[in-house]
Amino acid sequence: MAHWGMFRASASGGEITEVHPEAGDASPSQVLGNVPGSVRHRSRITGPAVRRGWLENGPGPSEKRGSDDYVAVSWDELTDLLAAELRRVVDRYGNESIYGGSYGWASAGRFHHAQSQVHRFLNCIGGYTRSVNSYSTGATSVVMPHVLGAHWQMFSRSTSWDVIADNTDLLVAFGGVPVKNTSVNHGGTSNHPTEGALNALRARGGKIVTVSPLRDDMTGSATWLAPIPGSDVAVMLGLAHVLVTEGRHDTGFLDTYCTGYEKFERYLLGAVDGVAKSAAWAAQRSGLREDEIVALARDMSSRRTLVTVTWSLQRIKNGEQAPWMGLTLAAMLGQIGIPGGGFGHGYGSMNEPGLAPVPYPLPTLPQGHNPVATFIPVAAISEMLLNPGALFEYNGDTSVYPDIKLVHWAGGNPFHHHQDLGRLRRALTRPDTIVVHDPYWTPMAKHADIVVPSTTSLERSDISCTRNDPLLVAMQPAVPRFADSRDDYDTFAAVAEKMGCAQEFTEGRTSGEWIRHLYRQWQGYLRNSGVDTPSFDDFWRDGSVAMNTEDRLTLFEDYRRDPVKNALRTPSGRIEIFSEVIDGFGYEDCAGHPAWFEPTEWLGGERAEMFPLHLIANQPRTRLHSQLDHGATSQASKVQGREPIRMHSSAASARGIADGDVVRVFNDRGACLAGVVVDDGMLARVVQLSTGAWYDPVDAADTASMCKHGNPNVLTPDVGASSLSQGCTGQHVLVQIERYDEELPPITAFDPPQVIDRVRTPLV
Ligand SMILES: Nc1nc2c(c(=O)[nH]1)N[C@H]1C(S)=C(S)[C@@H](COP(=O)(O)OP(=O)(O)OC[C@H]3O[C@@H](n4cnc5c(=O)[nH]c(N)nc54)[C@H](O)[C@@H]3O)O[C@H]1N2
Ligand SMILES: Nc1nc2c(c(=O)[nH]1)N[C@H]1C(S)=C(S)[C@@H](COP(=O)(O)OP(=O)(O)OC[C@H]3O[C@@H](n4cnc5c(=O)[nH]c(N)nc54)[C@H](O)[C@@H]3O)O[C@H]1N2
Ligand SMILES: [Mo]
């Protein structure tokens, strides 16, 4: 099982040679094609290693990170060094000075889940500074609990695809429903039903309107509206304005199920600032036609309509507004809680929304208790490292950035996920020590002082399952452990032993015993709820257990049925179109109701005079994030070895650029090369370059160096969505593009650094 689907692997000589998707999967992911050849790829870390400068000079800030050599050490030496350094940092600076947020997707599997392992371990040694929220839904996860009393429940208990296919007459999809993203589900998935559901909706006579700068955010027939990126809130306000001025809004629903609509309406109609957020006003900001907006609003109010907003729309500056305004628009239509109507968030962002949830808890490795209260919003990593002691705003509180001495990462790649990589590199010079566990020499591993070679999930046993999939799956190793790599669990157990907390960490179990234990614990829980499951041995032999799911859900059906008994977990118990709590925070960049804020990175502003193209840094079609970028599916998409950038023919020809050319994409933060694919299925001033090409600087010693491979995060802004959420804003960035006529530098991202073998090359 992988995050992108269930498969069987054929192997030979310690390597995966072929993968066969699960027979029941309606639409297996092409990302599976990256797996063959990945175990013994040259970018694997073959054994424990320590950065030469760190070994020679001891811990301390260093500008050599990212360009230093490494020294091969034994496992015993590595675990000695790691235990001693953790002990030194804890004794001298306290546990708060360890940053253990360790954000990232790692691999599927409940026991070997890298974040659970590193957090459990760090808790055993007294805790760590943690991170809160995700890069995925940073803004949503803070605003939605205030206004809807829910966050992840919106996805895991969303209206199911069957219900949509059977009932929705009009699907209005902001950000589309990009089927490419439904490849993936956190923790795995055994089926991919999205495309089939969209086709079933169409076959019933349902209509789809996709609102997105890219045509292919919707597959199959649909009406395509392409607003200027970042202008969706203006479009939604324009739609809302038509509803009110034509008396098409559902006042009964707003009175019974919502609070604060009147205050929002005053803003909408211009009573507050003298500006009516009319369809004409929206047309000016979005580039859509006024009559298109008016017609859509009328259409929406006369049929069973589902308004859905992808997560990408909140991964921008003021990202709270689009989902909040989408919800408000759906509330005005009055169909929330009715099958096939209402609101959705994240259809096409991940496979989970629209899939039936499992009604009981899943086997989980307990992470223990973290006595350190210090935290950061996850995307504030550089900010924290560069500004110890500085104050920051978050969700109504003012907190202080800690002074971090040691960064401990397992299962994530900040050079994939973070913005403004030049700034991240400067930030990573600051700590005394950086520890990275990864199977591969990722750019993050190449910035580590202590490099811990992990196994991949193909090399170990585990249990996988996720909250919206019926199958609990026995993951059995397909190949033996690669070279001198180890399971993260065994590494942590060895370090725990040296630090005197082995019993607390392992509870006396091997990894095999833990997997059996987690299964049995889960089985006991289910038995108490009257559900029988096979014995562990039968489960392991058969390969999976099918669980019950709650089929045919409609989001907030229960709330609609009885808004008192099933009150929402908001202060008012209702949908908060105006939130007294958020209003009370007094933020300039987030008001008490959804509102239009002019973006910083957008074509409507001054910055576009300097950088006239809007780059969409969205999720890659051909892989999960940076994982297996060297795999066949990912490599097949590259252009002259560079990540593909899609451009409209008019933007390309105006710059003397042809399909297949390599270009330099740049702004005042950085530059990267990319390979051009001309595509007219997008706005003329929009370009699209997905995340995930491994960061590959021309000069590894220079933090501002151009990335020759095509990582868009050398360009993106490192700023929080707002004082409320501080969410990641990596989706949008303004750039300029020129043809690159110089000799092409070779791609070196997948080459390991120089690793000195100490036996043969003694250090002086
Ligand atoms: N510009 C821009 N940037 C973005 C986004 C965007 O839209 N635009 N999207 C953001 C989003 S939504 C996300 S979720 C992030 C994703 O960012 P990440 O989750 O950090 O990206 P991954 O490439 O999945 O990194 C996972 C790492 O875990 C390693 N790994 C796999 N299995 C194991 C294991 O068993 N043990 C250990 N120790 N390591 C393992 C992999 O080799 C890989 O290096 O990126 C964010 N970045
Ligand atoms: N194949 C694959 N699937 C994935 C992932 C992956 O790495 N690979 N990553 C997974 C993860 S961790 C996450 S969090 C989700 C993320 O899910 P999302 O954030 O929803 O995914 P993106 O692909 O970044 O963006 C979806 C689409 O939104 C459109 N868009 C961008 N800006 C705007 C805008 O201003 N207005 C409008 N209307 N549309 C806009 C883009 O054209 C883009 O294709 O994807 C998941 N799915
Ligand atoms: Mo994500």
Ligand nearest 408 Cα, by number? 1
Cβ(312) to ligand 2 under 6 A? Answer: yes
* 729 part of a folded domain: yes
Cβ(440) to ligand 1 under 6 A? Answer: yes
What is the whole-number distance in angstroms between the Cα of residue 348 and the centre of ligand 2? Answer: 8
Q: Say if residue 676 is in the same domain as residue 733.
A: yes
pLDDT digits (tens, 9 = 90+) for 389-423: 999 999 999 999 999 999 999 999 999 999 999 99
Q: Say if residue 522 is in the same domain as residue 580.
A: no
**Domain extent at residue 6:** 1-40
**pLDDT average, residue stretch 97-107:** 97
Cβ(485) to ligand 1 under 6 A? Answer: no
Residue 176 CA, chain-centre distance (Å), reads: 17
Protein residue with its CA nearest to atom 18 in ligand 1: 104
What is the whole-number distance in angstroms between the Cα of residue 464 and the centre of ligand 1? Answer: 18
Cα(347)–Cα(350) distance, rounded to whole angstroms? 7
Q: Say if residue 347 is in the same domain as residue 384.
A: no
Mutation choice for ligand 1 from 365, 420, 667, 691, CB with most ligand atoms inside 8 A: 691
What is the whole-number distance in angstroms between the Cα of residue 147 and the centre of ligand 2? Answer: 23
- Catalytic residue numbers read 103, 105
Q: Say if residue 186 is in the same domain as residue 285.
A: yes
Cβ(412) to ligand 1 under 6 A? Answer: yes
Protein residue with its CA nearest to atom 2 in ligand 2: 181
**pLDDT average, residue stretch 110-129:** 98
Ligand nearest 101 Cα, by number? 1
Look at residue 190 and tell me whether its pLDDT is greater than 80.
yes
Cβ(184) to ligand 1 under 6 A? Answer: no
- What CA–CA distances, in Å, run from 120 to 426, 463, 492, 574? 29, 18, 9, 37
Classify 582 as helix, strand or coil. Answer: helix
pLDDT digits (tens, 9 = 90+) for 246-296: 999 999 999 999 999 999 999 999 999 999 999 999 999 999 999 999 999
What is the CATH classification number for the domain harbouring 710?
A: 2.40.40.20
pLDDT of res. 761: 52
Ligand nearest 728 Cα, by number? 1
Q: Say if residue 386 is in the same domain as residue 502.
A: yes
Question: Is residue 489 exposed (0-12), middle (13-18) or buried (19+ Cβ within 10 Å)?
Answer: buried
pLDDT of res. 26: 84
Look at residue 762 and tell me whether its pLDDT is greater than 60.
no
Mutation choice for ligand 1 from 181, 186, 421, 627, CB with most ligand atoms inside 8 A: 627
Mean pLDDT, the chain, integer: 97
Protein residue with its CA nearest to atom 26 in ligand 1: 412
What is the token pair recorded at 330? 């759906």
Ligand nearest 113 Cα, by number? 1
What is the whole-number distance in angstroms between the Cα of residue 103 and the centre of ligand 1? Answer: 8
What is the whole-number distance in angstroms between the Cα of residue 484 and the centre of ligand 3? Answer: 31
What is the token pair recorded at 572? 């008012």
Q: Say if residue 455 is in the same domain as residue 538.
A: yes
Q: Say if residue 304 is in the same domain as residue 347.
A: yes
Which residues have their alpha-adjacent CB atom under 5 A from ion ligand 3?
136
Q: Say if residue 394 is in the same domain as residue 331.
A: no
Look at residue 151 and tell me whether its pLDDT is greater than 80.
yes
Look at residue 748 and tell me whether its pLDDT is greater than 50.
yes
What is the whole-number distance in angstroms between the Cα of residue 175 and the centre of ligand 1? Answer: 22
pLDDT of res. 758: 74
- What CA–CA distances, in Å, run from 397 to 132, 135, 585, 729, 763? 14, 20, 8, 21, 50
Q: Say if residue 301 is in the same domain as residue 239.
A: yes
**pLDDT average, residue stretch 152-160:** 94
* 744 part of a folded domain: no
Q: Say if residue 80 is in the same domain as residue 222.
A: no
SS3 of the chain: helix, strand, coil, percent, to 5? 30, 20, 50
What is the token pair recorded at 285? 């900001």
**pLDDT average, residue stretch 697-726:** 98
Domain count, the chain: 4
Look at residue 764 and tell me whether its pLDDT is greater than 70.
no
* 340 part of a folded domain: yes
* 746 part of a folded domain: no
pLDDT digits (tens, 9 = 90+) for 649-679: 999 999 999 999 999 999 999 999 999 999 9
pLDDT of res. 486: 98
Cβ(544) to ligand 1 under 6 A? Answer: no
Cα(336)–Cα(165) distance, rounded to whole angstroms? 17
Cβ atoms of residues 224 and 213 within 8 Å: no
Q: Say if residue 34 is in the same domain as residue 53.
A: no
Cβ(112) to ligand 1 under 6 A? Answer: yes
Q: Say if residue 35 is in the same domain as residue 60.
A: no
256 phi and psi, to 5 degrees? -85, -40
